[in-house]
Amino acid sequence: MKTVAIIQARMGSNRFPGKVLKPILGRPMLWRVVERVRAVPSIAEVVVAVPDNPDNEVLRRFCADNQIALFAGSETDVLDRYYGAAQQFKADPILRITADCPLADPRLIERLIQTYASGRYDHIGVASGAGAQLIPNGRFPDGLDAECFGFSALARAWDEATDPRDREHVTRYIWNNKEMFLCGVLTADVVYPKLRLTVDHPEDFELVTKIYESLYREGRPFELSDVMKFLKTNPGLVDLNRKWNEADNYSAILGN
């Protein structure tokens, strides 16, 4: 078995175009995601999967110039892009993450991979992001999203999925067909406030940059616990992207 992380990235974004190459401490956000995922002990290789159209040539060039493994495929059929990348790099299982999660936690990702391996799952995901909206308890803050799944599950989804939404969202066919796939969810052991630690808007990027400016140390990736301590002592920062979050009162949630 070869655990391969496949990071999907593209230049197009209706809300924040070109965000994946916006610099955080002098390096593009995509690089920061790659850097953090490379710190996960069980991951053998990190691949960036990008669209193969001209608009994303800058991303393909960035990967080539920075010795980052690359796969180029369909922009809209992301399931096909993942399937092609997994085939080319002989990935099994696959760790899926997106390039708008620069606070991805290596320790949490390692825990996800180990849980996948110990439970004979077809798919397991961190309880975070849109895919975990219906989970009442145990959610992580948005931006900690990650999924681990086997190549056989990916191949079946690739072969059978016809709904355009299933082709766009990669694992939607798997976790919507739990009678065919053994799916699990990695939930949090503590109650986290509802925070946005993903990057969909400029305000999200501003918050993430503040976190990096305080916590980043080369070769020593900070963890979610470090982020939570930092935000607890700097509660005003969570107002930066408040309008994009459903929480009404950050100060109360953070215990201030």
Is the pLDDT assigned to residue 74 strictly greater than 80? yes
Tell whether the model's pLDDT for residue 112 goes beyond 80. Answer: yes
Q: What pLDDT digit, counting tens, does each position of 170-189 carry?
A: 999 999 999 999 999 999 99
Does residue 251 carry a pLDDT above 70?
no
CA distance 49 to 60: 9
Q: Specify which of 1-5, 105-109, 235-239 reaches the highest per-range mean pLDDT.
A: 105-109
The pTM assigned to this predicted structure is 0.93
Give the model's pLDDT for residue 248: 36
Determine the topology of domain 4-253 in CATH.
Answer: Spore Coat Polysaccharide Biosynthesis Protein SpsA; Chain A (3.90.550)
User: Is a pLDDT exceeding 50 seen at residue 247?
Assistant: no
Helices 29-38, 202-215: inter-axial angle, 10-degree rounding: 50
In which band, very low, low, confident or very high, does the pLDDT at 253 lie, cut at 50, 70 and 90? very low
Residue 93 preceded by cis peptide, ω within 30: yes
Q: Give the CA angle between residues 93, 221, 1 to the nearest 5°.
A: 15
Instruction: Report the alpha-carbon distance of residue 150 to residue 158 in Å, rounded.
Output: 12
Would you tell me how many other CB atoms lie within 10 Å of the CB of residue 2? 13
pLDDT at 255: 38
Q: Where are the domains of the chain?
A: 4-253
Cα-Cα-Cα-Cα torsion 192, 193, 199, 205, nearest 10 degrees, comes to -120
6-21 pLDDT tens trace: 999 999 887 898 999 9
Helix (H, G, I), strand (E, B) or coil at 183: strand
Band the pLDDT of 242: cuts 50, 70, 90: confident
How far apart CA 100 and CA 95 sit, in angstroms, is 15
